[in-house]
Amino acid sequence: MAVALQASAQVDVSQAWVRATVAQQKATGAFLQLKAKTDSRLIEARSPAAGVVEVHEMAMDGSVMKMRAIPALDLPAGKTVELKPGGYHIMLMDLKKPISAGETVALTLVFEGADKKRETVDVKAEARQLGGATAPADKDAHKH
Ligand SMILES: [Cu+2]
């Protein structure tokens, strides 16, 4: 669930979510869909939950997939740009505390239009637990 607080935003933000973390984990990703009315760029992201927030892309480095920070993410007019696991994402680093599934994480996104006008959009992203190898043991599991 995502709520963009500015109804008339230049860039529509939807489907925002953050990957829940396990204890000791200091970084995680935020994912969402962006659709700009006119050519824009995502130039900055912030969150009170993290000390450092960067926009990352995944890129091949030889035969290894690595992520790296990019200065801006292009948002062509009318095109939905999806930030998702394995692709572009907003990297939350230096987390102030673990993020549990169901929690709401506040994100602030800064967009810049072709006219250099900046717009700030506040987003609430719900934390979700992704299944798979990194999932912690289910504390509610019953043994019989
Ligand atoms: Cu990353």
Residue 56 CA, ligand 1 centroid: distance in Å: 5
Residue 144 CA, ligand 1 centroid: distance in Å: 41
Residue 67 CA, ligand 1 centroid: distance in Å: 5
> Looking at residues 122-126, what average pLDDT do you find?
97
Q: What is the 3-state secondary structure (H, E, C) of the chain?
A: CEEECCCCCCEEEEEEEEECCCCCCCCEEEEEEEEECCCEEEEEEECCCEEEEEEEEEEEECCEEEEEECCCEEECECCEEEECCCCCEEEEEEECCCCCCCCEEEEEEEEEECCCCEEEEEEEEEEECCCCCCCCCCCCCCCC
Residue 3 CA, ligand 1 centroid: distance in Å: 23
Of 119 and 136, which is predicted with more confidence? 119
Q: Does residue 42 contact residue 53 with C-beta atoms inside 8 Å? A: no
Residue 40 CA, ligand 1 centroid: distance in Å: 22
> Looking at residues 4-31, what average pLDDT do you find?
87
Of 16 and 8, which is predicted with more confidence? 16
Task: Report which of 132, 46, 33, 128 is spatially closest to residue 93, judged by C-alpha positions.
Answer: 46
Tell the CATH topology of 2-128. Answer: Immunoglobulin-like (2.60.40)
pLDDT at 3 over 90: no
Q: What pLDDT score was predicted for residue 90?
A: 98
The C-alpha atoms of residue 33 and residue 81 are separated, in whole angstroms, by: 6
Residue 80 CA, ligand 1 centroid: distance in Å: 20
Residue 134 CA, ligand 1 centroid: distance in Å: 16
Which tokens hold the place of 94? 């230096």
pLDDT in tens, 90-123: 999 999 999 999 999 999 999 999 999 999 999 9
Residue 4 CA, ligand 1 centroid: distance in Å: 23
* Residue 136 banded pLDDT, cuts 50, 70, 90: very low
Q: What pLDDT score was predicted for residue 130?
A: 79
Q: What pLDDT score was predicted for residue 141?
A: 46
Q: Please tell me the pTM assigned to this model.
A: 0.83
* Residue 133 banded pLDDT, cuts 50, 70, 90: very low
